[in-house]
Structure 1
Amino acid sequence: MVKALHVVRHPTGFYSAGATTLFASKFDQRFSYCLYVPSAHDQDGPALPLVVLQHGTARRGPQYRDNFAEWAERHGCLVLAPLFPAGIGDPDDLHNFKFLRYGDIRFDEVLLAMADEVGERFNVDTRRFLLHGFSGGGQFVHRFAYLHPDRLAGLSIGAPGRITSIDYDSPWWIGLKGFEEEFGCAPRVSELRDVPVHMVVGSADVETWEINNQGDANWMDGADAYGVTRVERLRALRDNFEAHGISVRLDVVPGVGHEPMRVLEPVKDFFASILSRRESPATTSG
């Protein structure tokens, strides 16, 4: 009989390596996050890059994290997946985080606080991170970018049902009119030109029942001005960004509907391309 090897595991450290448990944020304990900490993590080694995966309406943060686990091991990245629960304040509310501000909550600030907390516990570079969100998460991340381009190493916007264009004549959140009154600062569009931007959507993501819901809390007149499907709206956002000098890589995944886990391969490829540019040694002539 072969005797099984006994693996010694630390009773708390076990849950802070690999796919972690959920941690409440010190900044605001209504919100939490989980991580993937790769085996490359070393408190005395080089700081790891940070990838943030922002969930959508279904709050599938741990699923995004698990999907990225193998990739995170291969590329030596730490993954952060926030959880912004539904029903805060209003038990029927599903959309609180998508527009960044909800009552006295600033979800962009909650996310930045989570990143800083992770940086305090792990050897990870939080100064600039890679950020992806799909659907409601796609709404969140492109609005986040108008406020915090200086914190982004790369931005991936997945299939947002409602877009905020760089349009200073249309009201927030259709456009950017009133942005400064809402957030206390002007949108930082010029700085976004220095951030690699990716957009991704499935070619069959054409159902409209959720995104043309006139009269609901997450609707504004004009939300359908740039198309009725997510594909049309994302192409319009790409065109809008490029008209303002922001280069965009757009991936339309053939045959895929509104399925977040089936559009992640282009996201991983985009992030890997950014990491490879960071890691490439500077070329010299002489």
Structure 2
Amino acid sequence: MTAAPATVEAPESDAAARGHAMYDLESTPVIACKYDPRFSYCLYVPPTLGQGEEPSIVVTMHGTGRGFVGYRDGFAEFARWNNCIILAPLFPIGVRGDGNRDGFKYMREGDIRYDQVLIEMVAEVVAHYGLKSDKFALFGYSGGGHFAHRFLMFHPQRLWACTVGAPGSVTLLDPTRDFWVGTRNVEELFGLEIDPAAIAKVPVQMIVGAADLETWEITHKEGGRNWMPDANHAGKNRPERLAALKTSFEEHGIAVRFDLVPNMPHDGPKALPRVQDFLAGVLQARRAKAA
């Protein structure tokens, strides 16, 4: 990319140039999603945008605590030195007025399809910055790890990498059980088919702390909002459940880098160095192949 994209205001005056630098580059303000303004996002855009190779997109998906700005900022240095745009979505609690903290994790909530909302957010960024590629890497930790592995299953063709961090519950590639525990009725619920061969083309990392052993938030109980038969069958804690997901993937020919981090509790920011090491390696290989 060699010129300022037409969709971003050209810096023809001092005021326009200052506005472009303040609101379109580096750490941006929070932006309402045009597709559905109930949802929003912020970005980190490298200040070298337009001066060389097109940047790659990395989506950082928040967890239940909605610390989306923190993850954006945690990836800012990585983005600057690896020429990436960071997109950090915000899917608020209780968007339908019912206080539901978990809707985005399971991809649908009433008439909301969270996978489609993210796809539209990425499309807005691609259009605004005049990018040619709409493929992106997806990182999610805790509640974001829920979202990340299910998005990977649904839309592998949209991803150049995926990191699944410490989800409380997992969807196994199991055609004998219904969603969300398995994948038997995904086509009926979502209108799409699970394609393990396509998933296998995406570099996948799974990461969890070896000390991430608390179960109070992740043990499903009958009568709960997300209860269904076999809701706890993948394991009793996060390391066990993520290991079950890894096994499920590998049984379908999908390679996984599995990081069980010694002495790490449930702490997303502490996972970032290993996540960024993984993504930097994938980026290097991807760019070398393209060259």
TM bracket, shorter-chain basis: over 0.9
SS in 1 for 2:121: helix
Match of 1:172 among 179, 202, 210: 179
Contact residue 78 and residue 124 of structure 1 kept, 8 A? no
Which residue type is aligned with residue 153 of structure 2? Y
Which residue type is aligned with residue 33 of structure 2? S
- Structure 2 CA distance for aligned equivalents of residues 224 and 130 of structure 1: 29
Greater percentage in helix: 2
- Structure 2 CA distance for aligned equivalents of residues 146 and 104 of structure 1: 20
Q: Deviations over 1:62-102 (max 9, x none)?
A: 10000011111110111000000111113321011111111
CA positional deviation for 1:135: 0.8
CA positional deviation for 1:12: 5.7
With normalisation by structure 2, the TM-score equals 0.91
Does the alignment pair 1:40 with 2:48?
yes
Does the alignment pair 1:239 with 2:247?
yes
Which residue type is aligned with residue 194 of structure 1? K
SS in 2 for 1:219: coil
Contact residue 196 and residue 253 of structure 2 kept, 8 A? no
- 1:102-181 equivalence runs, <5 A: 102-181=109-188
Deviates more, 1:185-194 or 1:158-167: 185-194
Partner of 1:97: 104
Does the alignment pair 1:208 with 2:215?
yes
Q: Deviations over 1:25-78 (max 9, x none)?
A: 000000000000012211x64321000001111111110000011111110111
Match of 1:84 among 77, 91, 100: 91
Equivalenced residues, count: 276
Does the alignment pair 1:222 with 2:230?
yes
Match of 1:25 among 27, 33, 49: 33
Contact residue 49 and residue 125 of structure 1 kept, 8 A? no
- Structure 2 CA distance for aligned equivalents of residues 26 and 127 of structure 1: 17
Superposition misfits of 4+ residues, deviation over 4 angstroms: none
- Structure 2 CA distance for aligned equivalents of residues 174 and 282 of structure 1: 38
Does the alignment pair 1:260 with 2:260?
no
Mark the CA change 1:281 to 1:87 in structure 2 (over 3 Å): closer, same or farther.
Answer: closer
Contact residue 47 and residue 123 of structure 1 kept, 8 A? no
Contact residue 129 and residue 151 of structure 1 kept, 8 A? yes
Which residue type is aligned with residue 278 of structure 1? R
- Structure 2 CA distance for aligned equivalents of residues 281 and 244 of structure 1: 26
- Structure 1 CA distance for aligned equivalents of residues 148 and 132 of structure 2: 19
- Structure 2 CA distance for aligned equivalents of residues 135 and 219 of structure 1: 18
Deviates more, 1:82-91 or 1:170-179: 82-91
With normalisation by structure 1, the TM-score equals 0.92
Unaligned runs of 5+ in 2: 1-13
- Structure 1 CA distance for aligned equivalents of residues 217 and 81 of structure 2: 36
Which residue type is aligned with residue 193 of structure 1? A
Q: Deviations over 1:133-180 (max 9, x none)?
A: 011111111111111100010010000111000000111100001111
